Amino acid sequence: MADKKVTMDKIRNLGIIAHIDAGKTTTTEGILYRTGLNHKIGAVHEGETTTDWMAQERERGITIVAASVTCFWKGHQINIIDTPGHIDFTAEVERSLRVLDGACVVFDGKMGVESQSETVWRQADKYGTPRICFINKINQTGGDFYKSLESIHNRLSKRAFPVHLPIGFEQSINGIVDLVAMKAYTYKEFADHEMVDAEIPADMLDQVKKYRSLLVENAVAEDEAMLEKYFEVGEEGLSEDEIKQAIRTATLTGKFFVVTGGDGRGVMVEKVLDLVNDYLPAPNDRANVWGVHPKTGDEVERKHDASEPFSALAFKITSDPFVGKLAYFRVYSGKVTAGSYVLNSSTGEKERVGRIVRLQADKREDVTEVEAGDIAAIVGLKGTTTGNTLCDPAHPIILENITFPEPPVSIAIEPKTKADQEKMAIALQRLAEEDPTFRVKVDPETGQTIISGMGELHLEILVDRMKREFNVEANIGQPQVAYRETIRKSGVEVQGKFVRQSGGRGQYGDVWLRLSQNEEGAGFEFINSIKGGVVPSEYIKPVEQGIIEAMSTGVLAGYPVVDVKAELYDGSYHEVDSNEMAFKVAGSMALKEGVRQAGPVLLEPVMKVVVVTPEENMGDIIGGLNAKRGRIESMEDLSGNVKEITAFVPLGEMFGYTTDIRSMTKGRASSSMELDHYADVPPHVTEAIIAKNAK
């Protein structure tokens, strides 16, 4: 397969994204089967899938890590990344979309748009990723193409238009009408290897004309020349190729979406692959990439071209039991060959490219060279982590990094035996290298190791991986909430003065700070307003460092202080006794005292919680959420007496909630949650937290 080299316009870097259980992995399996990579379609529930290759994924039937696969279809090379649907693994979606050119959004045809569908859609919007929509499972009981399409219009975008309409309903579906070619194709069994030409059913003609007109009219609107021709000759005067070109132009804007439907395991997958080839972008359809020169800070442009200097982004690191550390990377310009040296411009270190491999999920094949537009992995990079730029040492560039949310849930973890202690440190380091939303720190007061992640499931999976992959047995504590502290008064002026005389040379640092609230989420801001050298310039940075260090433990309950502006506006120094350390301590003292005077409050992470429940359990669910200090945001009807409830609930109240609603509804309800914002903790809860932390 390595010799199947294609030109850049025939490469598609495709993400499969969706809500959990919509059928992403099954669709990926269908693609691998149809493109000849697999001899049969692996079933998720039987643990046979190619991209879900981790033991935990096969046991739980969910995708945890984004897996990469390369396949070929009608002369095109498609690099697919099958991403997780569970919100705890949202970083996998984020980093995949950063390096992909297009996406296929899979919807469950029985449920339509679900909560995580909205999240991944927003992530794709953030990166301007063009996408196509595949409504899966429409041939199952309760599957409904048109209802799902309506939910896409209501919740995601009005500019989503079918290119295929299904023939039949639920289990009787046996084909499609192609609205571009104005042809019908049918099959006897959805597992058939081909569709046969057929007549468009007479009872569908009016519907077909209506949807075709909507598709063509909206597609040509994105192209002035095509729009003029459309006004001259009408829909009938445009050729099939012209309509395809108009749809492609519209789709590449990232604001126009073609829709199809079927079963992810069936022959319809071939039509999805055709849509990927026809309408989603090649790497050179996307805008050129920009970065900065690491030394000068000047902006630098790179074209999607193999003749340009090499630049690539490492978007994922994994530990492989057979080959060691694997760094997945996307090449934006130039090319890289096995055995060459590249510069990691994010760290300033040179790295040797050992082997380059193309990936078939957990299997791999060696290639000698990878060019612009392609995705592959390098074996043996030592100092490279997620988001690092790799480039030609003679033409350095730093590409935009990938940003990840702060993890809101923490647990204490300790090794069961002395023998596990050293192994645990190595295991945690490896896992943290792989997953940028997983953090490890040692509590300086208790000496405990604290691990933080995006949710209970995230941490549970990581502890399980530690046990299986690194043979480390560990005890874990109760989940802890990542509280924050901030201030509610502005313009508070406070002095920090550090004077120490102990024979010989003394210490002297004196600063005045003005503390104010910063906007929510804006973080810390330091303003230097010193005039006339009352604090010498060499002591300004130490003052800032002292403030930052003091902000790591707040005055109420020892949580980090956030969203504060600190203005250094006055102070004094001593010719002999002043030094950097004295001013650092003075800055720290001023910050602590200033926070005490500026109305300190405790902040808690508030989660957006979405519960899908049968109608008869709705009262219990709403009552339960209200009891957890929740605020109900909305209630929507889904198909078949099912309700979707959206609420905002403090994270501290939500531990174990999945188990609670399972028992409350006999397993019929499901929930998902994601961090939405931080909010003030009510006074009575604050008192309880302070008392607990004081013990």
Q: pLDDT tens digits, residue range 82-108? A: 665 445 555 666 667 778 899 999 998
Res 47 pLDDT > 60: no
Tokens representing 21?
A: 């259980």
Share of the chain above pLDDT 90, in %: 33
Contacts of 639 (CB under 8 A, 6+ apart): 110, 111, 112, 142, 144, 147
Report the C-alpha gap between 358 and 375 in whole angstroms: 8
Report the C-alpha gap between 166 and 171 in whole angstroms: 11
Are the C-beta atoms of 397 and 311 separated by less than 8 Å? yes
* Torsion sign over Cα 381, 97, 332, 292: negative
Res 442 pLDDT > 90: no
* CATH 3.30.70.870 intervals, the chain: 409-482
Q: According to the model, what pLDDT value does residue 66 have?
A: 41
4: pLDDT confidence band, cut at 50, 70 and 90? Answer: low
Pairing relationship of beta strands 355-360 and 564-572 according to DSSP bridges: unpaired
Q: What is the CATH number of domain 603-694?
A: 3.30.70.240
Report the amino acid identity of residue 203. Answer: D
Q: Is 472 helix (H, G, I), strand (E, B) or coil?
A: coil
Report the topology of domain 485-598.
Answer: Ribosomal Protein S5; domain 2 (3.30.230)
Report the amino acid identity of residue 218. Answer: N
Res 55 pLDDT > 50: no
Q: Quick one: DSSP state of residue 199?
A: P
The secondary element (H helix, E strand) that includes residue 468 is helix 456-470
Count Cα atoms within 13 angstroms, Cβ side, for 443: 15
**CA 93 to centroid of chain Cα atoms:** 4
Please write the tens of the pLDDT for every residue from 186-205: 887 766 667 888 889 999 99
Res 695 pLDDT > 70: no
Contacts of 410 (CB under 8 A, 6+ apart): 450, 451, 452, 453, 479, 480, 481, 482
Average pLDDT over residues 608-625: 88
Q: Quick one: DSSP state of residue 112?
A: B
Q: According to the model, what pLDDT value does residue 56 have?
A: 44
* CATH 3.30.230.10 intervals, the chain: 485-598
Greater pLDDT, 205 or 40: 205
64: pLDDT confidence band, cut at 50, 70 and 90? Answer: very low
Q: What is the CATH number of domain 9-282?
A: 3.40.50.300
- ∠ CA 674-133-242, nearest 5°, is 145
How crowded is residue 318: how many other Cβ atoms within 10 Å of its Cβ? 17
Report the topology of domain 292-399.
Answer: Elongation Factor Tu (Ef-tu); domain 3 (2.40.30)
Burial class, 285, CB count within 10 angstroms (exposed 0-12 / middle 13-18 / buried 19+): middle
Dump strand ranges (E) for 348-394: 349-352, 355-360, 363-367, 369-371, 375-379, 389-391
Report the C-alpha gap between 23 and 16 in whole angstroms: 10
53: pLDDT confidence band, cut at 50, 70 and 90? Answer: very low
Are the C-beta atoms of 609 and 670 separated by less than 8 Å? no
Q: According to the model, what pLDDT value does residue 587 have?
A: 95
Report the C-alpha gap between 385 and 316 in whole angstroms: 7
Res 551 pLDDT > 90: yes
Q: According to the model, what pLDDT value does residue 481 have?
A: 83
Tokens representing 497?
A: 């003065």
Are the C-beta atoms of 392 and 342 separated by less than 8 Å? yes
Average pLDDT over residues 297-301: 87
Please write the tens of the pLDDT for every residue from 129-145: 999 999 988 888 888 99
Task: Please name the residue that has the structure tokens 């050729």.
Answer: 239
* CATH 3.30.70.240 intervals, the chain: 603-694
Res 40 pLDDT > 50: no
What class, spelled out in words, does domain 409-482 have in CATH? alpha beta
* CATH 2.40.30.10 intervals, the chain: 292-399
Burial class, 628, CB count within 10 angstroms (exposed 0-12 / middle 13-18 / buried 19+): middle
Helix, strand, coil shares of the chain, percent, nearest 5, are 30, 30, 35
DSSP 586-651: HHHHHHHHHHHHS-EEEEEEEEEEEEEEEGGGHHHHHHHHHHTT-EEEEEEEETTTEEEEEEEEEG
CA dihedral 109, 111, 116, 122 (to 10 degrees): 60
Q: According to the model, what pLDDT value does residue 83 have?
A: 66
415: pLDDT confidence band, cut at 50, 70 and 90? Answer: confident
CA end-to-end span of the chain: 63
Res 147 pLDDT > 80: yes
What average pLDDT does the structure give for the chain?
Answer: 83
Are the C-beta atoms of 304 and 8 separated by less than 8 Å? yes
Task: Please name the residue that has the structure tokens 């969706």.
Answer: 18
Res 49 pLDDT > 70: no
Report the C-alpha gap between 533 and 269 in whole angstroms: 71
335: pLDDT confidence band, cut at 50, 70 and 90? Answer: very high
Are the C-beta atoms of 606 and 533 separated by less than 8 Å? no
46: pLDDT confidence band, cut at 50, 70 and 90? Answer: very low
* CATH 3.40.50.300 intervals, the chain: 9-282
Res 306 pLDDT > 70: yes
Rg (CA), the chain: 28
Tokens representing 6?
A: 């294609």
Q: Quick one: DSSP state of residue 44?
A: G
Task: Please name the residue that has the structure tokens 């949650």.
Answer: 673
Mean pLDDT check: name the lowest of 167-171, 347-351, 431-435. Answer: 431-435
Q: According to the model, what pLDDT value does residue 426 have?
A: 84
Greater pLDDT, 56 or 227: 227
Pairing relationship of beta strands 631-638 and 525-528 according to DSSP bridges: unpaired
Task: Please name the residue that has the structure tokens 């569709």.
Answer: 195
